[in-house]
Structure formats: C-alpha cells, structure tokens
Amino acid sequence: MIRRHPLLSVLLLVLVGIMALAWQNRVHLQAFPGIIGAYTAKEYCSCRYVSNNPANYCETYVSQYIPISAFEDDAAAKRVTASGLGSTQRAQWLSAREGCQLLPQP
C-alpha cells in the first residue's frame, strides 16, 4: 500500500497523529466549549459595566473567530448571557469593588 499510494499513507499517518494528540488532550478539549461563552459574557460585562464603554464598542471588543450562537445584555440587571458551542454562560456586575463575576450554571 505504501508503494502504490504514498500520499494516502502519509495522510493516514497524519490522521493517526491528530487522533493521538486529541486523545492525550481530551480533558482540555472537553472544557473548550464552555470557555467561548464564559469569555464573551465576562469580558463584555467588564467592558460595559466596569469600564462604562458603549455597547457597540464592547460587542466589537469581545468578538472572536468562533462566533457565539446567542447573546443577551440585560442592562437593568447588569447581567450578560452568552451561548456558544452548546454551552451557555452568564456574568453579572456585583458592585464597584467586585466588578463582574461569572454566575454558576443552572
């Protein structure tokens, strides 16, 4: 097979290497979906309610390569909800001294 299809053999070897790397880092890969929403919620909350920047500036500030699927800014409660990759995270402004904090998932 290697003699007849060297490119296919190299591709198969690369695929096996990627699978081995994914298996070795499976714990980190499982945590990744929660990071997208948490980063967006926390950073937007801090930008908007701690730094008092305008909403359109903060939306641009937290934009990422991987898009979020849902976003909600509750200005009355100073609470931000962001969903991405199947995980929903919330952050809320607590006080001037404490700033914004991620809320526990329901």
- Strand arrangement, sheet containing 87-95: 70-74, 79-84, 87-95, 99-103
Query: Is 3 part of a structural domain of the chain?
Result: no
Query: Is 17 part of a structural domain of the chain?
Result: no
- For residues 89 and 82, is the Cβ–Cβ distance under 8 A? yes
- For residues 88 and 105, is the Cβ–Cβ distance under 8 A? yes
Query: 43, 61, 32, 34: which is closest to 101 by C-alpha?
Result: 43
Q: Is the pTM of this model over 0.85?
A: no
Query: Is 87 part of a structural domain of the chain?
Result: yes
The boundaries of the domain holding residue 56 are 32-103
- For residues 64 and 72, is the Cβ–Cβ distance under 8 A? no
Please check the confidence at residue 99 and state whether its pLDDT lies above 80.
yes
Structurally, the chain folds into a number of domains equal to 1
Query: Is 2 part of a structural domain of the chain?
Result: no
pLDDT digits (tens, 9 = 90+) for 11-25: 999 999 999 998 998
Query: Is 88 part of a structural domain of the chain?
Result: yes
